[in-house]
Amino acid sequence: MATDASHDPALTSWVASAQATGADFPIQNLPFGRIRRAGSAEPWRIGVAIGDQVLDLAAAAQAGGWSAEVSALLVPLAAGDLNAFMAQGPAPRRALRAALQAALKAGSAQQAALAPCLIAQAEVEFSLPCTVHDYTDFYTSVNHATAVGRLFRPDNPLLPNYKWVPIGYHGRASSLVVSGTPIRRPNGQFKLPGTSEGAAPDFGPCRRLDYELELGAYVGRANALGEPVPIGQASEHLFGIGLLNDWSARDLQAWEYQPLGPFLSKNFGSVLSPWIVTMEALEPFRVPFTRPEGDPQPLPYLDSVENRAGGALDIQLQVRIQTAQMRAAGEPAVTLMQSSYRDAYWTLAQLVTHHTVNGCNLNPGDLLGSGTLSGPQPGQGGSLLELTRGGKQPITLPNGETRTFVQDGDTIELHAWCEREGAVRIGFGPCSGVILPAP
């Protein structure tokens, strides 16, 4: 893939808000989401974000003016079935992108027909953008892995396999929810600090609840069972990217993770943003994939000229918090940290290839979590576990409140965007969730 006319900075839309300064959804973006009018019992259908509006693809399909090829592509989207569209692979997706841009660009002959098909984003509700049957969470930030390892293994923070193999575990797809869905603090077992090794664990509400700043990559085209995806073809199996907050109960996690890894500490709720930004929209923001001097290069099956030249993505990432006290006072969320996905130790193509190298079959809509994305600086931790050094150094917020971990009533917002000289800024929309008390 490469940049083309669809990324032209001179391209503008007849939807005026698409040109607003700092807009997440210019005509160069066009992410997909699953929508209906808020409070209605209307059927779910797929929409495309443009400015502060959504183009309802069910209404747009009926409005006509499309070629026979594009009309066929709109059928599953009008029915709310993004998975069926994802399964068709990148060529149909690019064809629809071109048709939508032509219809939404300034001066389009379809403006009159499509203007009634727009709905203000403030007037819609979202579900998950697609059906996620399987979810794998990776561990791609070497900065996060090192910082967390240093908390528990000061003399040996990074385990020897990390720089050779993309580490991951199978997550729980049933508890993935869309942005705006409240999350209840989980109950579970944990060991309180100072408890002797042989003493019984405590049980009750999690006391060390944390967020994790992640990206979620969605699989498009499937691979058959027993047929690995070579790294040169891996990008063709990806549909797009959204934001992911993989809430984590750190005290439950510390007690349960040995010897098999995360379980109840991770499956009580993970929040996804409502929009999927396609791989085509992200093309201008590809950057070289490099390893620090002295680190091992990937094994041959995880290496290619293309992956080295542009396998990484420069996506800016940010976490904000709004406490219950701030909300009551009418105060906006404040920034906790900012980092970049370009610092990830493994690329998305490498994740797809490694996930399938043993013959594992991936299906349309499968989700690949990036793992917590932290920057190299101390203030760039993608979780409170890092920012507070395991809860030992509380963060003081502008209103005087402090936090070591997330408290009931706190809303955590994830934001992401891409920008560089010569390209139009695109964003991912917010990914937010508020914590409710334990049941």
Give the CA radius of gyration of the chain.
22
Q: Is there a single domain that holds both residue 112 and residue 202?
A: no
Q: Is there a single domain that holds both residue 222 and residue 287?
A: yes
Q: How many angstroms separate the CA atoms of 421 and 152, rounded?
A: 41
Query: Closest Cα partner for 32 from 431, 428, 426?
Result: 428
Residue 263, domain extent: 135-436
Instruction: Give burial (CB, 10 Å; 0-12/13-18/19+) of 153.
Output: exposed
314's CB contacts (< 8 A; 6+ apart) are 285, 286, 287, 340, 341, 342, 418, 420
Q: Is there a single domain that holds both residue 92 and residue 202?
A: no
Q: How many angstroms separate the CA atoms of 241 and 279, rounded?
A: 7
- Distance from CA of residue 216 to its chain's centroid? 4
Query: Closest Cα partner for 321 from 266, 253, 387?
Result: 387
The total number of structural domains in the chain stands at 2
pLDDT > 70: percent of the chain = 100
Q: Is there a single domain that holds both residue 228 and residue 114?
A: no
End of a domain among 127, 161, 179? 127
**Residue 415 is among the residues annotated as catalytic for this protein:** no
Question: Band of the pLDDT at 1, cuts 50, 70, 90?
Answer: low
CATH number of domain containing 320: 3.90.850.10
**Is the per-residue pLDDT at 229 higher than 70?**
yes
Q: Is there a single domain that holds both residue 85 and residue 227?
A: no
Amino acid at residue number 287 = V
The rounded mean pLDDT for the chain is: 96
| Span 65-77, average pLDDT | 97
Q: Is there a single domain that holds both residue 166 and residue 95?
A: no
Q: What would the pLDDT profile of 271-289 be if each residue is shown by its tens digit?
A: 999 999 999 999 999 999 9
End of a domain among 96, 127, 158? 127
CATH number of domain containing 76: 2.30.30.230
Tokens at residue 36, please? 């209906």
Confidence at residue 152, expressed as pLDDT on a 0 to 100 scale:
79
Confidence at residue 51, expressed as pLDDT on a 0 to 100 scale:
98
Residue 162: how many other CB atoms lie within 10 Å: 17
Confidence at residue 149, expressed as pLDDT on a 0 to 100 scale:
87
End of a domain among 69, 103, 127? 127
Q: What would the pLDDT profile of 318-334 be if each residue is shown by its tens digit?
A: 999 999 999 999 999 99
Q: Is there a single domain that holds both residue 164 and residue 247?
A: yes
Q: What would the pLDDT profile of 347-395 be if each residue is shown by its tens digit?
A: 999 999 999 999 999 999 999 999 999 999 989 999 999 999 999 999 9
Per the residue annotation, which of 7, 133, 144, 170 is the catalytic one?
144
Q: Is there a single domain that holds both residue 349 and residue 249?
A: yes
Q: Is there a single domain that holds both residue 209 and residue 156?
A: yes
Question: Band of the pLDDT at 195, cuts 50, 70, 90?
Answer: confident
Confidence at residue 68, expressed as pLDDT on a 0 to 100 scale:
97
**Is the per-residue pLDDT at 413 higher than 60?**
yes
Residue 439: how many other CB atoms lie within 10 Å: 8
**Is the per-residue pLDDT at 88 higher than 80?**
yes
Q: Is there a single domain that holds both residue 56 and residue 91?
A: yes
Q: Is there a single domain that holds both residue 119 and residue 139?
A: no
Q: In the chain, what is the straight-line distance between the N-terminal and C-terminal CA atoms, in Å?
A: 48
Note the pTM of the prediction, 2 decimals.
0.97
| Span 247-259, average pLDDT | 93
Question: Band of the pLDDT at 261, cuts 50, 70, 90?
Answer: confident
Q: How many angstroms separate the CA atoms of 10 and 5, rounded?
A: 10
Q: How many angstroms separate the CA atoms of 312 and 242, rounded?
A: 16
Residue with tokens 């698409």: 18
Q: Is there a single domain that holds both residue 197 and residue 297?
A: yes
Confidence at residue 378, expressed as pLDDT on a 0 to 100 scale:
87
